[in-house]
Amino acid sequence: MGSVTSFWCESAWLDGGPVRGVRVESADGRTTALTRAENPAPGDRELRGLVFPGLADAHSHAFHRGLRGRTHRDGGSFWTWRTAMYALAGRLDPDVYRDLATAVFAEMVLAGWTAVGEFHYVHHRRDGTPYDDPNAFALALRDAARAAGIRLTLLDTLYLTSAPGEPPLPEQRRFSDGTAAAWAQRVREIPADAGFRVGVAAHSVRAVGPDDLAVVAATARDLGAPVHVHLSEQPAENDACRAAHGATPTELLERAGLLGPDLTVVHANHLTDADVARLGSARVTVAACPTTEADLGDGVGRARDLATAGAVLALGSDQHAVVDPFLEARGLEGAARLGALRRGAFDPADLVAALTTGGHRSLGLDGGTLAVGAPCDLVAVDARSVRTAGSDPAQLVLSATAADVTDVVVGGETRVRDRVHTTLGDPADLLLDALRRLT
């Protein structure tokens, strides 16, 4: 066992609630001991406020960060926003994406995210031909995560059609491997390691037909990998699926053998009652992305119904309109309140679970708890800021923001100290340089 590092937490989130005075010891990146301690011992690193287990962002498109604050003037819809997104995707290359993603991942760590699922579908050159290394973009994202100090599950995404039975649009060619078999072979060649897990994804039932969804399911089983899919984000997706296949998107996933505990469905805003029952009984994870869904006008989802039916909830920042796990948690509760016309759809502990254990489950990771043997990932939140002062510690998730995250530990290593990233400092300059190269 390597050298032991110890942290004293003024208060820590244990077993679903805050506990005062907890000492955490770690070695080789994992927690080796948890003890009650009223005061720090010599050599302890002090973490003030309330310390949560690491938070996992279940759904990210890092390059979408380039659109923040640039798409609001003319209103529009998800579909008009998508045009701007395609234009941005068309300007990416592996080098600029490495720098952009490094800045985005660093912003995420500063906000308290310690793990991320990157839903990755920009694979090839602009004309659709592979780079000399067909996984050049995947490796750029791996390097970015290492530089930022965040755990990465790369959800390599199959994308074959623009609509059911239709070839990719010119702006989608770099997303496509041509066939599901070619995609599966490329995914198998991505070199995973301890901090870099490879998962798989089908972009959506718009982009992947029934036979190829079955290939995704088989590939996930072969690799022992988590599998993700965008599901029923927009009513138009449901309408096209019914017209082409005589089924809802959820029914199509069931036919392909995808429904199960290893599946995460993203958004799931427009579901029938039968869809909710299917997803719940299969114990899928539902990754809600409330700030993105609000930004794009996607609609209010059925998170409370899904959780009641048996689904596990996770949260993601998706297009990074904001990077703030606490706003995502409040967005989940807020949308449920708006739909139900009552407060308290979720207990605060449920929201913390979505940020921690739910997100890690979605990504095939074993973190999200403060427990012996778990990864030593810690997120300290200021309980005395102008936003949080006076809050019940058990309800801090409903008053804090990313600005209140003071310290972040990933694998026993301090990545954020006193609100500053320990290796990258302020990532804004890196971000601005990457954005300049994209314009």
Tell me the per-residue pLDDT of 391-410, one tens digit each, with 9 for 90 and over. 999 999 999 999 999 999 99
pLDDT digits (tens, 9 = 90+) for 22-44: 999 999 999 999 999 999 999 99
How confident is residue 2, by pLDDT bands cut at 50, 70 and 90? confident
Q: How many residues does the chain have?
A: 439
Whether residues 92 and 22 share a domain: the answer is: no
Quote the CA–CA distance of 117 and 100 in Å, as a whole number: 16
The model's pTM: 0.97
Whether residues 130 and 27 share a domain: the answer is: no
CATH of the domain at 46: 2.30.40.10
Q: Is residue 439 a part of any domain in this protein?
A: no
Domain count for the chain:
2
How confident is residue 144, by pLDDT bands cut at 50, 70 and 90? very high
Query: How would you class 377 by CB atoms within 10 Å of its CB: exposed for 0-12, middle for 13-18, buried for 19 or more?
Result: buried
Whether residues 39 and 147 share a domain: the answer is: no
Whether residues 183 and 314 share a domain: the answer is: yes
Q: What is the mean pLDDT of residues 365-381?
A: 98
CATH of the domain at 140: 3.20.20.140
Whether residues 150 and 38 share a domain: the answer is: no
- Write down the pLDDT at residue 194: 84
Place of tokens 């599998």: 227
Lowest-pLDDT choice from 53-67, 75-89, 103-117, 129-143? 75-89
Q: Is residue 215 a part of any domain in this protein?
A: yes
- Write down the pLDDT at residue 1: 67
Report yes or no: 84 and 143 within 8 Å, Cβ to Cβ: no
> Which of 363, 395, 412 is at the close of a domain?
363
pLDDT exceeds 80 at position 73: no
Q: Is residue 437 a part of any domain in this protein?
A: no
- Write down the pLDDT at residue 109: 98
Q: Is residue 411 a part of any domain in this protein?
A: yes
SS3 at position 60? strand
**Sheet (strand 420-421) strand order:** 30-36, 17-27, 5-14, 45-53, 378-381, 405-410, 413-417, 420-421
pLDDT exceeds 70 at position 366: yes
pLDDT digits (tens, 9 = 90+) for 316-363: 999 999 999 999 999 999 999 998 889 999 999 999 999 999 999 999
Contacts of 420 (CB under 8 A, 6+ apart): 426
Whether residues 233 and 167 share a domain: the answer is: yes
- Write down the pLDDT at residue 28: 96
Whether residues 60 and 49 share a domain: the answer is: no
pLDDT exceeds 90 at position 294: yes
pLDDT exceeds 90 at position 76: no
Whether residues 229 and 250 share a domain: the answer is: yes
Whether residues 285 and 170 share a domain: the answer is: yes
> Which of 363, 385, 413 is at the close of a domain?
363
Report yes or no: 318 and 113 within 8 Å, Cβ to Cβ: no
pLDDT digits (tens, 9 = 90+) for 201-259: 999 999 999 999 999 999 999 999 999 999 999 999 999 999 999 999 999 999 999 99
Q: Is residue 393 a part of any domain in this protein?
A: yes
- Residue range of the domain that includes 349: 55-363
Whether residues 119 and 189 share a domain: the answer is: yes
- Write down the pLDDT at residue 196: 96
Whether residues 235 and 306 share a domain: the answer is: yes
User: What mean pLDDT, rounded, does the chain reach?
Assistant: 96
- Write down the pLDDT at residue 342: 92
> Which of 317, 344, 363 is at the close of a domain?
363
Catalytic residues, by residue number, are: 267, 318
Kindly state the percentage of the chain with pLDDT values over 70: 100
The alpha carbon of residue 246 and the mean position of all alpha carbons in its chain are separated, in whole angstroms, by 31
Q: Is residue 436 a part of any domain in this protein?
A: no
Q: What is the mean pLDDT of residues 8-25?
A: 97
Lowest-pLDDT choice from 70-74, 206-210, 372-376? 70-74
Q: Is residue 189 a part of any domain in this protein?
A: yes
Tokens for 118, please give them: 């990157």
Whether residues 182 and 232 share a domain: the answer is: yes
How confident is residue 439, by pLDDT bands cut at 50, 70 and 90? confident
Q: Is residue 435 a part of any domain in this protein?
A: no
